[in-house]
Structure 1
């Protein structure tokens, strides 16, 4: 099950956050490079594999939040929900949204003393760096948390299974089917039954991952079930990489339908990796190491700031490296990780505000 760290931390949860942090950086490092290559080239295949290997990262971050916040054994007061969790999301969005606006102004040569207020206004209007979409989505999940905690408190295990079945059918399978094949009939019933979890409130699209984090932390899985999930996870990974190649070759350019966080193939890989970290790596010495704990503590900050260093590398002409992509993508990931970790660690040490922006 994984041993607790000091302070009641779960070793496998820390290790999972660190791995997800690396995967997010890999995802963004590989994606921009991949788009510049012709479909089917050797480097294209290598980057497609790296990109496919990293697509589980954001869903895993959502699961890590759900595994703790939905636990009814842990008290979650309204003041804690608003002033600890939601305030952190809001502060991070305002601060980092403004930082990226000012960075764009600097890049375009328009940065000046009057740039701050327009930058803040842009953030309020929702014009932020793409990866910051994660923050308002998580804020929505936090607002749903009291209702979801009531559900998990009274639900039987079979109730969870029914919930996951509905989520998989109407959020992971049906939208992908409609995108790949199209069906007016299926679209009609999905919209009018309101079982597409993304109809009116986007955070609902990720509610399955949020609940799954709690479920997989709480309920033990037998060895045969774990082996089945590992097999399904590998199949999902193969479908992501292989299917993306086939769809891209057919389209004559990169087709990212199977890269979606909200696709069955990515969900299967994410669940398999979560289970692997819990049961196979949770008791490993590395999982409870001081380095893993330190990286885990600032993983949120690394997520927020790493795009800044990716942009800087591109300005320096290092958005792609003069190396085979199989080796170049991991090296580019490392070049982004190191300064991102250093900046996040320094900001995390700031009194009062550090914990809200990293």
Structure 2
């Protein structure tokens, strides 16, 4: 009995530690998304030859991994064998709630614009209705319909992942070769490039293209990390982050020198350099050994559940900083992370206040379910 009790308690501790790591991953991903948007403003206004542009590029590369980390997180949770997936329940709760939140946030953004412009005419109302149908409100809204699309094919993805251990790995390898590797090669300029483009566009890899690949990749990576099948441990994670950041910077500087344009090709979502960086950060966070008390763990979980709201509202908070500080001046090495933390903190506070209203918490902040969207 003592051995059984000990093993049960050991499993409970391991599950609690694993959940803490996932909460940390969600918060880190949200912070990185904010960092990407803060640093993107700097990249657009800084001359490429300056030190500030190089620093902004490094921050921006790290920041862009946030979206990939959210996809990794959603994939490892929703594709897991431990997740009790019941289609009717999932689509009635998770899918419907996210869809309502999506429409609600579009209306919120247009309502704010409505008040700011003072335009109360019927034409503006007509534009709002059209934009709700089109799903347009702000530059970061693209993530939600993309995630809703993945939700629709979730039963198919779960069937692939649970059909055998090798099938999801094969899926990820195809994604890495077709979308990430060849996609990165096509960022370069070389003779007969059009021939490679022609071949790649004729291969119908629609299912494994783009975001679905990262979604499944999160499940595969998490399984490998839990089974200790990733060589090098944490040092391999550090190495991948460094190689990804440096590779993206060197690649973009080389392209800029060649074309004369301000290049950010190598920190795009499907570049090999950004993929490496995201995998490194993911491995580092998942392999963290975290020891904290119950109160601290509950606080961490509470913050992680509010990250969806932080993601949705942070551009509004950013606009306040841009009006106060201006976006034509460099925030600097310390300024960019400082503004990022301030935007994240203020957004979190606003969302926390709003979460005290139960319907808002469930339908607008998407904070009611234990396993939902990555964001």
State TM-score, norm by structure 1. 0.88
The 10-residue stretch of structure 1 (172-181 or 267-276) with the greater mean CA deviation from structure 2: 172-181
- Whether the 8 Å CA contact 2:210–2:270 is kept in 1: the answer is yes
Q: Map 1:204-353 onto structure 2 (within 5 A).
A: 204-219=209-224, 220-222=227-229, 224-226=231-233, 227-279=235-287, 281-285=288-292, 289-319=297-327, 325-353=332-360
Query: Equivalent residue for 2:3?
Result: none
Partner Cα separation in structure 2 for residue 111 and residue 58 of structure 1: 36
Q: Distance in 1 between matches of 2:203 and 2:143?
A: 27
Deviation track 1:284-338 (CA, whole Å, cap 9, x = no partner) reads 4399633322220101110011001112222334446675x10111121122112
| Aligned 1:121-136 pairs, distance under 5 A | 121-136=130-145
CA contact (8 A) 1:240 1:258 kept: yes
1:193 aligns with 2:197: no
> Equivalent residue of 1:130, what SS?
coil
For structure 1, the residue ranges without an aligned partner over 5 or more in a row are 199-203
Distance in 2, matches of 1:121 and 1:75, equals 38
- CA drift at 1:15: 0.2
2:64 corresponds to 1:59: no
**C-alpha contact (below 8 Å) 2:72/2:219 kept by paired residues:** yes
Contact 2:75 2:217 in 1 (8 A): yes
User: 1:212-233, CA deviations, whole angstroms, 9 ceiling, x for partnerless residues?
Assistant: 2222223313462534454233
Aligned positions, number: 348
Stretch of structure 1 that moved more, 300-309 or 327-336: 327-336
Give the corresponding residue for 2:103: 94
Kindly tell me: are residues 72 and 224 of structure 1, through their superposed partners in 2, closer, same or farther at Cα, counting changes over 3 Å?
A: closer
Q: Kindly tell me: are residues 305 and 257 of structure 1, through their superposed partners in 2, closer, same or farther at Cα, counting changes over 3 Å?
A: same
After superposition, give the CA deviation of every residue in 1:145-200 in whole Å (9 maximum; x if it has no partner).
100111111122x33332222111111121232232362222222222212657xx
Which stretch shifts more, 139-148 or 251-260?
251-260
Residue pair 2:245, 2:273 contacting (<8 A) in 1 also: yes
Offset of residue 39 of structure 1: 0.7
2-structure distance, mates of 1:240, 1:130: 23
Using structure 2 for the length normalisation, give the TM-score: 0.84
Flag the 1:225–1:334 CA change in 2: closer, same or farther, 3 A.
closer
RMSD between aligned residues: 2.6
CA contact (8 A) 1:25 1:333 kept: yes
Q: Which residue of 2 aligns with 1:173?
A: 181
Query: C-alpha displacement at 1:30, in angstroms?
Result: 0.9
| Structure 2 gaps, min length 5 | 1-10, 366-375
The alpha carbon displacement at 1:46 in A equals 1.7
Partner of 2:5 in structure 1?
Answer: none
Change (3 A) 1:321 1:193: closer
Kept after mapping to 2: 8 A contact 1:31/1:47 = yes
**In the TM superposition, what whole-angstrom CA distance separates every residue of 1:226-260 from its partner, at most 9, and x where no partner exists?**
34454233211211222223323433342121121
Alpha-carbon distance in structure 1 between the residues aligned to 2:168 and 2:78? 17
